[in-house]
Structure 1
Amino acid sequence: MSVVTVTDPARDYLAELISKQDVKGMGVRIFVTQPGTKNAETCLAYCPPNEIVPTDEQFDLEKFTLYLDHASVPFLEEAYVDYSKDQMGGQLTIKAPNAKVANVDENAPLPDRVNYILASEINPGLASHGGEVSLVEIVDDSIVVLRFGGGCQGCSAVSLTLKQGVETTLKERVPEVTAVRDVTDHTVTENAYYQ
């Protein structure tokens, strides 16, 4: 089966949209723009027969064919397409937890595993405060050096965030990590979430 899960309600909804297009053999194509970056976006589009890319991975979903952009596949691991009805009609949702950074396994290099946890687990939480954290380097083979940005830079709660949030999560997920250091200049407080 496909790396992307398309729920039955989503299949029905997409099949209904396709039926209104009046194009024989119309499918749906999923791709990620700027994959592996913080600006990555997962997109879903109609795919008429004349726009099928030979390298696309194809999956027969009975009511239509799903095409996955070959270069996007690693970033679509565990992606989920769902449709739920509501008072306004309904909403199609696409969740792609690995769009910003491809899923890595425990044998990947340490920086890749740290970046994956930052992108998939830590930064989504910091984003609610307009913040982000990025890997600067790894020293002594186990000490992760980070830089906070956005609402985290100059934030009075950043040491708490670093110790209780970021360091705890990184040590749990990546056992080789022994400590986390912050090299951010927190004297700059213009965008700080808590001042």
Structure 2
Amino acid sequence: MFIETETTPNPATLKFLPGRQVMTGGTREFTSPEDAGASPLAEALFDLGDVTGVFFGQEFISVTAAPGVEWHGLKPQVVSILLDHFVSEAPLFVGGDASGIAVPAEADEDFGDDPADADIVAQIKDLLETRVRPAVANDGGDIIYRGYREGIVYLAMQGACSGCPSSTATLKHGIESLLKHYVPEVSEVRAA
């Protein structure tokens, strides 16, 4: 088995491609060793001590190194853990399931979409799903719709995108411009 590695716009994060499906649906982000208890693979990566984030996409895993950690020393350790996991065909999650939930850990705030905005929300979600999420996944992350209220779209960045120096530019200049172009009711995009 061979695991490809790609850089991401976030210098602290590398994207690992095992050449097989990681998640059967959705995405899953782990931002602490405590969160990682749901996944033996995420737990093993955090056990390295130099990892501050693990993100599972459908066909990739993004790993974020702690500040000051050099990838030349950490990368072989991460690849070794990934190889052991995939070669042994171990389950991704406790209980053996490989499905995921595309909800950030802190997504407990309800933005309360107004039912009167259902058509606008549907347009926004369609654009995010068909145009934005595939591009963000190429960079080792994901973007999650959190809500729409009074012309403002609330989105959460995950994986490589959550700590990326260019994430604000991506939200404001890329995603906001796209949504404003196709959905005139959108006035702003904010990180949630």
The two structures share one fold, judged by TM-score above 0.5 = no
**Structure of greater Rg:** 1
- The one of the two structures with greater contact order (alpha-carbon pairs below 8 A, sep at least 6) is 2
Choose between structure 1 and 2: higher helix proportion.
Answer: 2
TM value normalised by structure 2: 0.39
TM-score, normalised by the number of residues in structure 1:
0.38
